[in-house]
Amino acid sequence: MPTNIPVVENILNANDRLAQENQARIDAAGVFSINIIASPGAGKTSLIEQTLPLLKDKLRVAVVDGDIATSIDADRAAQAGALASIQVNTGGDCHLDAVMLRGALEQLDLTQFDLLIVENVGNLVCPANFKLGTHKTVLVASVPEGDDKPYKYPGTYRGVDALIINKVDLLPYVNFRMDYFQQGVQVLNPGVTTFPLSCRTGEGLAAWVGWLVQNAKK
């Protein structure tokens, strides 16, 4: 057996243990938490920007933004209405991990929030392998990316709790076969909660926000 396999397994096992500790900390504060993953440009930050104003007077929201560099996304979340917005720069890593999230949690008084949104680094591979300790993982796919992504990234699609199909306003202009895309999703993740929406027009956002509120109020 190649020596790198046990090393990778040990890293992931250690990360999973820390993720459990993170979730216990989040649970103790009574907070609902989501980890948003997507490829670059799919619309993670735009989704957060459009979601936060709709949650005003409904949920108190904290956002943790992961990126290789800059605080651009955290600044956008703060401007959109996040009560707290923390940037985690990975220094080159293509994903957040449980250690990084733990550092962010230490900067928050979780008892002051109802919802924690974690925006992961834009990547369809690495973030799927590293648990953070959030309750749900949400994948943002977008119409311009193409309808073949479930077939190319089965591990990512298989492991998510909710799927957002963003930029549906572009369907008339892009060769995107919705039936083909959804068929690939259903093979991997039957019955996954799905929200077709457009951050530009606002179409479908109400259902997404309702899902967040429903889960946070449980």
pLDDT in tens, 42-87: 999 999 999 999 999 999 999 999 998 888 999 999 999 999 999 9
113-139: average pLDDT: 95
Domain count for the chain, please give it: 1
Secondary structure (DSSP) of 33-57: EEEEEE-TTSSHHHHHHHHHHHHTT
Q: Half-sphere exposure of 208 toward its Cβ, with a 13 Å CA cutoff?
A: 25
> Which of 47, 19, 37, 16 is closest to 121 using CA atoms?
37
> Is pLDDT at 2 greater than 60 in this prediction?
no
Burial class (CB in 10 A: 0-12, 13-18, 19+), 158: middle
Residue range 155-164, pLDDT digits in tens: 999 999 999 9
**CATH code of the domain containing 206:** 3.40.50.300
Res. 93: pLDDT tops 90: no
Of residues 93 and 197, the one with the higher pLDDT is 197
Averaged pLDDT for residues 145-172: 97
The per-residue pLDDT for 1 is 44
Average pLDDT, the chain: 94
How would residue 11 be classed by pLDDT, with cut points 50, 70 and 90?
A: low
Average pLDDT over residues 107-124: 96
Residue 13 has what pLDDT?
Answer: 87
Range of weakest confidence among 83-92, 137-146, 150-159: 83-92
CB atoms within 10 A of CB 9: 10
Measured distance CA(155)–CA(128) in Å, rounded: 7
Structural domain boundaries, residue 62: 4-216
SS3 category, 149: helix
User: Cα(first)–Cα(last) distance of the chain, in Å?
Assistant: 46
Contact 100, 127 (CB under 8 A): no
C-alpha 101: how far from chain center: 13
| pLDDT bucket at 169, cuts 50 / 70 / 90 | very high
The β-bridge partners of 62 are 84, 116
Distances (CA, A) of 91 to 27, 66, 199: 29, 10, 29
CA distance 171 to 4: 44
Q: What pLDDT score does 91 carry?
A: 83
Is pLDDT above 90 for 143? yes
Which residue, 127, 176, 131, is CA-closest to 156? 127
Quote the distance between the C-alpha of residue 56 and its chain's center: 20
pLDDT score of 6 more than 90: no
Whether the predicted pLDDT of 12 surpasses 80? no
What integer pLDDT is reported at residue 9 of this predicted model?
59
* Range name among 39-43, 49-53, 125-129, 136-140 with the lowest pLDDT average: 125-129
